[in-house]
Each structure stands twice: as structure tokens, then as C-alpha cells.
Amino acid sequence: MNFLTLLDYSPEQINELLDFSLVLKKYQKEGVPHPFLAGKTLAMIFEKSSTRTRVSFEVGMSQLGGSALFLSSKDSQLGRGEPISDTAQVLSRYVDGIMIRTHGHEIIEELAKHSTVPVVNALTDDFHPCQALADIMTIYEAKGTFKGIKTVYVGDGNNVAHSLLIACAKVGMDVAIATPKGYEPKPWIINEVESICQETKATFQLTNDPVEAMNGADVIYTDVWTSMGYEEETNDRLEIFKPFQVNNRLVQHAKDDYIFLHCLPAHREEEVTADIIDGSHSYIFDQAENRLHVQKAILVALMSN
């Protein structure tokens, strides 16, 4: 089994991963050894830069008793045009799992197709499922439940938004997203989220009005306005997204006890003001830490005997 997108996982499986993540977090905090992957090796392929992803996966494998190998595209044969299928088959004979952070989602699908060991999606242009699992874990820790919780995403309908919407819908959270016109999530993602919400009895709202979305929010989430690969659009996006900044005026429409989330890195005074992201409602560092714990749970679920 692989971990490519949360669309492949049932609500029950997602909740099991969250439960195990909480157990692993408790072990780590209490200094309880948990070498579930002793002797196992994870190959980590990076075609996009990273801080949290690389560190959390490397530390996670170490805490689980295994080891991790860093492979950048420029330092491997992938950078010289080796077919993904060849890379998958070779690595499968060396390691026990493959993690990849790459561009097109078709790349990771091709890798998984030819790999005989589990493949983990650490980010593609369409999905960021590890981040989304950490997001909903943080929400659960802060709110104690998913029932009756409304999560609102404001900004670009990107890979982070895709996976967050799916994750919230899968666990039965109400979810809303506000984007500028033309920057909505991909239509097929919207269709998937609407279908999931029908099954889990959650609500889904898509709007171009951030105030409308923010009404009654328990959780406010945003991301950078210009994701990797779209740098040439930066100046245009700065103007287009101005009304979608998370600031004191916008959060007045949320509940008084809202929490603020951001997948980081953040651009203070662009998508969010400093007083919000550094204020008392912010859970961004708990959220970042939880990447470690959910990824350990994923790795154990996929690679453990």
C-alpha cells in the first residue's frame, strides 16, 4: 500500500492513523523508545526544496530505529533523465520505502506503479497529504473533536488546499474555502470533496468572498499566495489576493476561540498579518511539529512487519 493521496483512505483508516500519531507523540514526549522500523531504510527523493519535510522524515526514521537517505534530483540519475520506472525498480531492491517531494502528481503515480516498496507523497503539485494529516491532528488536539467544527481556508486553491479539504471532509468536519475568481481548487477536486461530504454528513462551501466563508469559523487556515513554480506570477498575485489577507478585520467574523493554522513558510504581512500568525490564536508550531508524528505513523503503517 502507498500514501499518495487521502482520497485512497477511508475515514476509519484516517482516524486510525491519527490515533496512532497521538500515541507516537506521547512516546516521544515521554522518552519511550519505539523502534518499530529497526533496520528499515527510507529513500527520500527531493525535486523541490524543503525544511520541515526533510527534517521531520529524517528525525522520524531515526526515532523509529531506522535510517533515511537524502536524494536530490541534481545528485541522482533522475536529474540526468533516468526513467522514473528504472529508479523505482532499483530503489526497491535497496530500501524498504520511498518518500518523494516532486512536481506533477503523475510522477509519483509512475513511481508507485513500478515500485515494490511503499511510496509516500511528501508533496506534489496536486496534493500534500502528510501536511493535511498534521493539520487535522492539530485541530483535534485544539478542539477535542471534529464534530461541529468549521475549518475555513482562505487564499490560493493549491495542493495544500486540495488535501486539507479532502481531510476535513473525510473526518466529517465542515469546511469552507474562499479564493479569488480563477484561483479555485481544481473542479474534479471540488467534485470529490462534495461527494465525500455527502457520505460523512459534513458541509462544504466554495466562495469568492472571504467574509462569507469566515462566518462562524473554528479554524482559519491560509498559505502563501505564490507557491513554488508560480514565482513569475508574484506581482499579479499580490494585488489579486489582497482582499484575502487574514487580518484583524477578517477574523472578527470567526468564533472568538478560533485557531489559526499555516503550513509554513509564511510571508508575514502578505497572506497573514504578524499579529495573527504570532498571536495567541496561532497553532502553527504545534502544527509543524505534528508533521513528525503523523509521518511516523504513516511510515510504520506502510513499512512495519
User: Does 209 participate in catalysis according to the annotation?
Assistant: no
User: Does 291 participate in catalysis according to the annotation?
Assistant: yes
The verdict on whether residue 227 carries a ligand-binding annotation is yes
User: Does 89 participate in catalysis according to the annotation?
Assistant: no
**Alpha carbons 90 and 255: distance in angstroms, whole number:** 52
The verdict on whether residue 249 carries a ligand-binding annotation is no
The verdict on whether residue 83 carries a ligand-binding annotation is no
From the list 96, 126, 128, 293, the catalytic residue is: 128
The verdict on whether residue 295 carries a ligand-binding annotation is no
The verdict on whether residue 207 carries a ligand-binding annotation is no
The verdict on whether residue 228 carries a ligand-binding annotation is yes
From the list 54, 125, 126, 131, the catalytic residue is: 131
From the list 63, 174, 223, 287, the catalytic residue is: 223
From the list 54, 63, 101, 125, the catalytic residue is: 101
- CB-CB contact of 191 with 163 (8 Å): no
The verdict on whether residue 253 carries a ligand-binding annotation is no
Strands (E), the chain: 41-46, 67-72, 97-101, 119-123, 150-154, 174-178, 204-207, 219-222, 259-262
The verdict on whether residue 280 carries a ligand-binding annotation is no
The verdict on whether residue 223 carries a ligand-binding annotation is yes
The verdict on whether residue 101 carries a ligand-binding annotation is yes
User: Does 103 participate in catalysis according to the annotation?
Assistant: no
The CA angle 4-232-225, to the nearest 5 degrees, is: 60
Q: Which residues pair with 119 in a beta bridge?
A: 98
**Alpha carbons 39 and 62: distance in angstroms, whole number:** 10
From the list 54, 281, 291, 293, the catalytic residue is: 291
The verdict on whether residue 252 carries a ligand-binding annotation is no
Sorted by sequence, the CB contacts under 8 Å of residue 223 that are 6+ apart come out as 153, 155, 156, 158, 160, 161, 262, 263, 271
User: Does 128 participate in catalysis according to the annotation?
Assistant: yes
From the list 63, 96, 245, 263, the catalytic residue is: 263
The verdict on whether residue 128 carries a ligand-binding annotation is yes
For the chain, how many helices (H) and strands (E)? 12, 9
Q: Which residue has the cell 505564490?
A: 226
The verdict on whether residue 51 carries a ligand-binding annotation is yes
- CB-CB contact of 12 with 39 (8 Å): no
- CB-CB contact of 138 with 290 (8 Å): yes
The verdict on whether residue 52 carries a ligand-binding annotation is yes
Q: Assign 201 to helix, strand or coil.
A: coil
Annotated binding residues for carbamoyl phosphate: 50-53, 77, 101, 128-131, 263-264, 291
Annotated binding residues: 50-53, 77, 101, 128-131, 159, 223, 227-228, 263-264, 291
Q: Binding-site residues for L-ornithine, please? A: 159, 223, 227-228
Q: Annotated active-site positions, please?
A: 101, 128, 131, 223, 263, 291
